[in-house]
Structure 1
Amino acid sequence: MGVKTMLPSYELGFYALAVTCAVVYSGSGIFEASRDSMNRKAFREGIKPGWHYFGRKMDMADFEWVMWFTSFRNAIIFALSGHVLFGKICSMTVPQHRAVVYMLYGVLAVLGSMGLVYLMIILSHCLVLYSVALAKQKWLCYVAGLCCLASFKVEPFSSWQGGFVTGAFDLQDVLFYGGSCFTIMRCMSFALESSERKEGVYSIFDLLKYNFYLPFFFFGPVMTFDQFHAQVSTQELRRKDDELKNIRVHALLHVGAIIAVDIFFHFFYILTLPSDLKFTNRLSDWSLAGLAYCNLVYDWVKAAVMFGVTNTIARLDHLDPPQPPKCITMLYVFAETHFDRGINDWLCKYVYDHLGENHDNIMKELVATIATFAITTLWLGPCEIVYIWSVLNCFGLNFELWVQKFFQLEPFAKLEVRSWAASRWGKVSGSGTKFWCWKMSMTVGSSNLYKKSQIYFQLRPDEQPDVAPCPGLLHGDLKLLPVAFSILVISYLAVQGRHSLGALYPFILCTVSPTQSKFPSALGCFVGSLGWVWSFQRENGGPRERGMHQNTTDGHKI
């Protein structure tokens, strides 16, 4: 549903200018605040000496980033380089057995890094879910898989299993829960695919080859078993034209992103500043807006680099891994609010599409989204913030379908075809509710600005960092409601007739004001909402009708 057309170049240019000015102006405030707080006592734990070339301290508050690219950088490079080397030798000599080599190397890497006890825990869960797969009953696979996943997410079972792994190093908890939880998702995929197989089931050897593929083992992404098995079993290994060139380009981009982030942290202390409420209370509205936006973008960059590195290695192994996460400034509907596309594809294939079918029936869609977000809540780790986030996103996804159904009624459908501009005004009325639902869900998520370890790295609930939210994230939102809604109308008219949420992030950022409804906040909403429209994907050509679901897996993400 929806009519799309190309926006005029001068309009796009105006949006580009507006967003550039807004980012530069807010960034200047963050830079000044970072410079003035470099030697602040409250920030000693997060701000430490950086590169000698810059003569400045560096924001090192994110322990995952520091461990990946500083403390354990050499070990990670060594392990992944060994995988690439042995995999390449095997692909050139005995390509039919390359999956076995991947499995053996992965088992040895897990054994060397985490120990024999951890390996036994992983193998025991694999054996349990393989035994369940022999029954070829889908409901039993779901029950057993979710129970295994809950054993790593719910106390006291989580601590009980973690207690078997002795020794301690900084990355141990991240590797333990990351590898364990991704193992359960892979085993569930294997069990469900085996249940659908008409002739027998796959062997446990196939499961081990699938699970112990090292690049995906600890941090993902998740490839469904059917895709992995088909690709890794191919004996004729051929590359497309310029594929190696693209791999090299992406590898250089990831290295460049790592260096750029480290340089950025020398001048902008976006991770440490939110930890001191007294200090953030003195920041301007524009600085708070930029601070929140930088933290959101940094989360995306971190996920993009993490998945990008593993995806690059998978492409060297002649696999087609899930795409990297979509930039947050490109998200404008609830159907695409996902970081990990591997988990998203898994949920769509085995839960959302399975229950929702063609997603035309409102009741089936409601059941599908509730089930999907219930599993997502378990995957992220049950806690109050995740509950609120799941409920709001579940409602928003259903609300999109309700509005689509409403505007497919004959009077509105004819109005959209006859008058594109008039149809925009009608859709604005429904977008307000959806916008505030998304705004509140992201506001809750922003209360932990620079630590989303539970979401991305599966840490236990009791290990979550104690980080206070930015002041004013909720304070004053109701007073800004009339102003923000009117600005939403203006921004929505710029979004080429889609049922869209393009102005989401600017609204979130520019309403984080401890001084409630100051004029700069409202002005920031306006400038930001116009600017972010510029980043949307648009299609050339004249107006046309768009089907509600072009592709269920790719067109309607969770």
Structure 2
Amino acid sequence: MKHKKISRHAVNKTPSRLETIDEEREVSFGDSAKSELYAKLPLLEICTYVGWSMFAWFCVISSLYQSSQKHASALHSSSLLLRGWQLLGDTRQDGADVEWRFWKMTINSQFLLMVLVYVLIMRVVEILIPLKRELAWTILSVSFLTIFYEWQLPAMLVVHTFVSFLASRSRSTRIVWIVSTLQLCSLYVEGANSIITAYFGFPHLEHAKFFTAICIIKLVSFSLECCDEENLPVSPSSENTQDTLFDALSYALYLPFVFAGPCTTYDLFRTQMNKPVEPLNKEMLWGFLSEFIRYTLALLAVEFFLHFLYVPALAHRKDILREESFPTLSAVIVLSLVFFQMKYLILYGFPRAIALLDGFSAPLPPVCVLGLYSFKDMWKYFDRGLHRFLVRYIFIPLGGSRQGVLMNIMSAAVTFLFVFFWHGPQSFVFVWAILNWFGIMLEVLAGKLGRTLYAKDMDAWLSGATYRRLMGLVLVLPNTFIVAANLVYLHGEETLKIQIKNMLFSGHPSQILWIFVSVYCNLQMNLEARRIWGKRYLCTKGYYFRSNPKEKEA
């Protein structure tokens, strides 16, 4: 097999536009004068922000703990609590999050044994027959899926892969999108579900639909990459200039990413797959162990705190939330976001760690949501693989940010329409997508306005520290809007209405002041962290141990 350097080509055949991915020209609201935004503040002022934040955290967590213990019996009777660790005595653990509970049930001793078998076999294949590793992981993946989910799931994934491969042969992006849209419709249309159940007989159709949705988004990437005939790279499984059906299968069924992700676009997957196989060395092993230990500690921490802080369970009980105090509601809101980030840190992290042993660098896990204060950064640094997919295949081909404000708005609207449809056409998902699109568009417009205003010699009468304090005050409202938009996805519209009503309109006016001060202090702490370590270092997780110190973010 020839190892050729692969060009990073876009579907619209403008690779230079993709390299930036809106990093240079599109800045978030408030970033029009970055040096002033990250200006140094007095140490006493920073200590005040930290002190208030620690006090606020203590108040809300202690209130949440008391409420969790108070309603433990009611939550347990609603089957929202499960049996906890025996090490902690007769305790209950929050089991209300369906996704988290599903993955805990999946990862049993047999699952872990199969993962170990996969790792060992792949190491032997890389030593003895490195050119056959693509075939090896495809066979292992099909076998793995068959053992755990019987023959129906791999059969369904193979059928979708075959259909997408046929669409890719047309070399037409329109045909690819039509076929991919129909494939997604087959997951959500009731009549199509009946046909799938009749032919495949899925015992757990919802699980199959989840895995298939992950597979389809990868097949979209494969098919669209194949539409670029001029820059089509050499297939790793042969010396053809066209990707084969086997290439599509090996990409869609790559075992570490087949269950939960993260999403890795085909161009990056192919680029790494075409590299010569490197034997496992100390650097690679250390990179794997360091990340594996990090995710294991995160998993243990989440499991431990779910024994005492029943965040998902309380969010499920609207009747209890209506009666809860302001500190408890605040804790449920903030810790719901933290739990969401930690959940995907773990679900994306472990597959990434296993892929490192195969020589693949998957997109990094999400950064802490409390360290992000703009919609654009939330989307860019939370699910990095999905963000790259959306920008590469939808946003830029439709015009993106370089064709004027109107085209920017329309391109973003279509992008979030796909986000809504892929996540599942439900009302709360639609509201969540609309709010995020609206928030990003406000940031774009505010960023342009901010650059215009700052160009008028604002630095002549406004110091850097004053500018930072002023922008901190301005950013409180959009930061609060980000929290509300994400809570729609996590809790639904009704729960969010209860939280907003009780926190903003039914309580003492001092509650609004508490929220404002707490958000402002958190923003200033974020700006201080970025001033000291740099935004790029924090958002690209530069503090991670890497198997390759020069590794770039996928």
**Tell me, what secondary structure is at the counterpart of 1:354?**
coil
* 2:11 counterpart residue number: none
Residues 385 and 277 of structure 1: CA distance in aligned 2, closer, same or farther (over 3 Å): closer
8 Å contact 1:195–1:201 — kept in the other structure?
A: no
Contact 1:6 1:541 in 2 (8 A): no
| SS of residue matched to 1:337 | helix
Q: TM-score, normalised to structure 2's length? A: 0.80
Q: Which string of whole-angstrom CA distances, capped at 9 and with x for unpartnered residues, describes residues 15-65 of structure 1?
A: 222212111111111111222223337645122332222222222223433
Describe the superposition over 1:122-143 as per-residue Cα deviations: whole angstroms up to 9, x where unpaired: 2222122111111211222122
Code of the residue aligned with 1:26 in structure 2: it is: V
Offset at residue 520 of structure 1 (A): 3.5
| Residue 35 (structure 1) aligned with residue 69 (structure 2) | yes
Whether the 8 Å CA contact 1:149–1:184 is kept in 2: the answer is yes
Shift of 1:197: 2.9
Equivalent-residue separation in structure 1 for 2:62 and 2:481 (angstroms): 31
- For residues 254-280 of structure 1, the C-alpha deviation after alignment (integer angstroms, 9 at most, x for no partner) is 111222222212222222223333433
The whole-number CA distance in structure 2 between the counterparts of 1:49 and 1:236 is 45
The 1:174/1:254 distance shift into structure 2, 3 A limit, reads farther
Q: For 2:129 and 2:252, how far apart are their aligned partners in 1? A: 21
* Match of residue 262, structure 2, among 208, 221, 238: 221
Deviations 1:351-393 (A, max 9, x none): 1122234546212211210111011111111121122121221
- 1:475 aligned onto 2:508: no
User: Who is 1:530 aligned against?
Assistant: 521
**Secondary structure of the equivalent of 1:3?**
helix
CA contact (8 A) 2:374 2:478 kept: no
Q: Pick from 104, 125, 131 the counterpart of residue 69 of structure 1.
A: 104
Aligned mates of 2:341, 2:164 — CA distance in 1: 33
Aligned partner (choices 156, 173, 181) of residue 213 of structure 2: 181
Give a deviation string over 1:72-112, Cα, whole Å, max 9, x none: 42232123222211111111222222111111111111222
Give 1:201 deviation, angstroms.
2.6
Distance 2:124 2:75 in 1: 53
What SS is found at the alignment partner of 1:266? coil
Q: How many percent identity over aligned positions?
A: 20
Structure 1's unaligned 5+ residue stretches are 450-467, 477-511, 543-556
Residues 151/102 of structure 1: CA separation in 2 closer, same or farther (3 Å cut) = same
- Greater alpha carbon shift after TM alignment, 17-26 vs 57-66: 57-66
* Contact 1:18 1:528 survives alignment (8 Å): no
Change (3 A) 1:514 1:177: farther
Specify the code of the residue in structure 1 equivalent to 2:150.
G
Q: Which residue of 1 aligns with 2:22?
A: none
Task: Give how far 1:313 is off.
Answer: 0.4
Q: 1:350 aligned to 2:342?
A: no
**Deviation (angstroms), 1:246:** 3.0
| Count of residue pairs brought into register by the alignment | 486
Gaps of 5+ in 2: 1-31, 233-240, 535-552
Match of 2:144 among 88, 109, 133: 109
Say whether residues 1:539 and 2:539 are aligned partners. Answer: no
Partner residue of 1:2 out of 2, 27, 33: 33
Partners in 1 of 2:517 and 2:117 — Cα distance? 52
Does residue 249 (structure 1) correspond to residue 290 (structure 2)? The answer is: yes
Instruction: Select which of 202, 205, 222 maps to 2:243.
Output: 202
Aligned equivalent of 1:414: 456
Residue of structure 1 aligned with 2:418, choices 364, 375, 381: 375
* Cα distance in 1, alignment partners of residues 500 and 71 from structure 2: 25
* TM-score with structure 1 setting the length: 0.79
Aligned pairs for 1:13-92 (under 5 A) are 13-40=47-74, 43-55=77-89, 56-70=91-105, 72-92=107-127
Deviation at 1:149, TM superposition (A): 1.8
The residue identity in structure 2 corresponding to 1:7 is K
Q: Quick one: distance in 2 between partners of 1:149 and 1:235?
A: 36
Structure 2 Cα separation of the partners of residues 529 and 238 of structure 1: 50
CA RMSD of aligned residues (A): 2.9
Structure 1 position 471, deviation (Å): 6.5
Q: Match of 1:529, as an amino acid?
A: Y
Aligned pair in 2 of structure 1 residues 382, 286: CA closer, same or farther (>3 Å)?
same
Relative distance call for 1:432 and 1:72 in structure 2 (3 A) is: closer
2:3 corresponds to: none
- 1:142-541 pair list within 5 angstroms: 142-166=177-201, 168=203, 172-173=204-205, 175-198=207-230, 200-237=241-278, 242-338=283-379, 339-359=382-402, 361-409=404-452, 412-418=454-460, 419-420=462-463, 434=478, 438=482, 440-448=484-492, 469=495, 472-475=498-501, 512=503, 515-536=506-527, 537-539=529-531
AA paired with 1:270?
V
